[in-house]
A = this chain, B = another copy of it.
């Protein structure tokens, strides 16, 4: 019998990325990828579409387990998509059960931020540490503390919400309904608004190069954002005390100026805090699919051990 493989599907708003790797690959370094594909997201009929994507994977190794990464609120214990960020047809869907019944193998469903965090912690910028807090800076801000390869979920599965630390009690109203959360200063829409008010045009994709060029309109905008991020990171160090901080997402992209400046501010302002290495993420847009594969490999080991 051929060695079984695990399939990771990272379901984004526009594309589904899939990765296939042998279930018994080492957990300590990125596995050899047997198959890699990118497909248009089946928005209208997501369950049928995901079945088709899973079945289209080359079958030289039998797929023994599928892990699906979904943006939004996921009940990972029950495998239910509570609320999807981009695919309304999945809201409330018991996706693990439906896909599992169709594919005939165990299926897990996880939050995409958790998946990406697991991969960054183990195979990306967190490699070599068994304790990383992984932060994604984009439209929203998502974080996850990964210890020994697993996300620390919190009692209700909602730990790691660094984007909703209050930075400025008198600040703008946040998507969460409170005032002055980190996200109201450094989320992509907030950063774009500040950049446009300062005379720039476009969003982070023009702001960050302008900062790198020393554009005097961009400098204070990036400094304020980095300062807010530094404050949130100091709160993180005081409360969670992670062994490494990994920062990814569009706003953290190369040349990583915002991350590096925030790290510098955090070190300057720390008093009793243990500020660990603060490093840019390295896996880019395939982090979620890698994390789905790794979680599949972990689950497969647990299932084998239980047999």
Cβ of A274 < 8 Å from any Cβ of B? yes
Flag A170-193 by CB within 8 Å of B: 1 or 0 each: 000000111000000000000000
Flag A270-291 by CB within 8 Å of B: 1 or 0 each: 0111101000000000000000
Q: How far is the CB of A148 from chain B (nearest CB, A)?
A: 12
Q: How far is the CB of A242 from chain B (nearest CB, A)?
A: 6
Stretch at the interface among A96-104, A159-167, A256-264: A159-167
- With known contacts A155-B276, A235-B165, A235-B166, A177–B271 Cβ distance under 8 A: yes
Are A239 and B159 in touch, CB under 8 angstroms? yes
Cβ of A44 < 8 Å from any Cβ of B? no
Contacts of A153 in B (CB 8 A): 241
Interface residue tally on A, bucketed by range: 35 or more
Q: How far is the CB of A230 from chain B (nearest CB, A)?
A: 11
Flag A224-243 by CB within 8 Å of B: 1 or 0 each: 00000001001110111111
Q: How far is the CB of A233 from chain B (nearest CB, A)?
A: 11
Cβ of A254 < 8 Å from any Cβ of B? no
Cβ-closest chain B residue relative to A132 = B155
